[in-house]
Amino acid sequence: GDREGIPPTLGPARMTSSGVQGGGVPSGSGRAQAVVRRKDVNPSSCVLVSRRQTGNPLLRYIKNVRWTFVDDLVPDYQMGQSSIALFLSLKYHLLHPQYIHYRIRELQRAFRLRVLIVHVDVDDPVKPLNAVTKLACLSDFTLICGWSYEECARYVETFKTYETKPHDVLLGSKSTAATDDYTSRVTHALTQIRGVNKTDVLTLTTAFGTLREILQASEEDLSSCAGLGPTKVKRLYDAFHSDFYPKVPGAGKPLGE
C-alpha cells in the first residue's frame, strides 16, 4: 500500500509487541521508553514531536526551545495549541509521492495554522516542488522550504518562539522603526543627486513633509528652502522631471529613416 517502503525516520509510528515504537529505534534494542500521550503534555510549554520523527537530523538543531516526544501525535510537530507542521524530504517525496497525501489525510481539517516544511535535498527541485506547492495550496497548508536540516529547525523554533507574540512585534513600531526607515530611504534616494547632502534632505522633508510633495514641487517652491541655491535647485528639479532612461538617438523611428 501507500505505507510500503516508508523509512523509519519519516514513516508513521508502528505497533510492536512492546507498544508504539518510533522509527529509527530498532525493535528490542535499548531500554524501553515510557509512552507519552498527547493529553499529558501542554503544547504551550514546549514543541511536541511525533515519535515518527525519531532519527530525523532536524532535531539536533532545535536548541532554543524545549521539545519532547509524544507517541500519539498526528502531525510531526506541534508548536502551539493551533499550529502544527509536517516535515517532508523532497528526495523521499520522489521515491514515495503518495506519502504526503496520506499524512495530510490523517490531519483532516484540524488546526488553524498548518505548515509543510520541505527539505530541499535534490539537485533539481523544480518539478517536485511544483507538485508539493499545488498540494499545499489545495490542502490549506503554508509551504516553507529549507535547504538544510538546520534551516528547517529554525522555522520550527521561530513558530514556537512567536506563538504568543502580538503582531506588532513582527511589523515593528510604527512610531519609531517605520518612521526611521522611511526617513533613511528618502535620504538615501535624494543624496544620490549631485551636491545634495543630508542637511538639504532634512530641509526638504521639513518644508514639504513627504517625498511625493518634494517630487511635485516647482522650482520656485524648491528655491524657497533655505540653503538651496540656484544650482542645487536646478539639479533637483531636473532629476525629478527628466526621463528615467536616457533617450537613445534614433529610437522609435521606423527602419530606413
pLDDT for 251 equals: 54
C-alpha cell at position 155 = 522555522
Out of 1-10, 156-165, 180-189, pick the least confident: 1-10
Q: Which residues fall within 8 angstroms of residue 47, CB to CB, at 6 or more apart?
A: 62, 65, 66, 67, 68, 77, 78, 79, 156, 157, 160
Q: Is the pLDDT of residue 186 over 50?
A: yes
What percent of the chain lies above the pLDDT cut of 90?
53
Phi/psi region, residue 60 (left: phi>0; alpha: psi -120 to 50; beta: rest), is alpha
Lowest mean pLDDT among 43-52, 87-96, 134-143, 167-176: 167-176
113: cell is 495554522
Residues 6+ apart with CB under 8 A from 140: 109, 114
- The mean predicted confidence, pLDDT, of the chain is 80
Mean pLDDT, residues 172-184 taken together: 63
Say how far apart CA 99 and CA 86 lie, in whole Å. Answer: 11
**Does the structure show a pLDDT above 80 at 211?**
yes
Question: pTM of the predicted model, to two decimals?
Answer: 0.56
Scan for cell 532554543, then name that residue: 64
Reported as a pLDDT band with limits 50, 70 and 90, residue 221 is very high
Strand ranges in the chain using DSSP code E only, listed in sequence order: 14-16, 19-21, 47-50, 67-70, 77-78, 83-89, 113-119, 142-146
Higher pLDDT, 90 or 165: 90
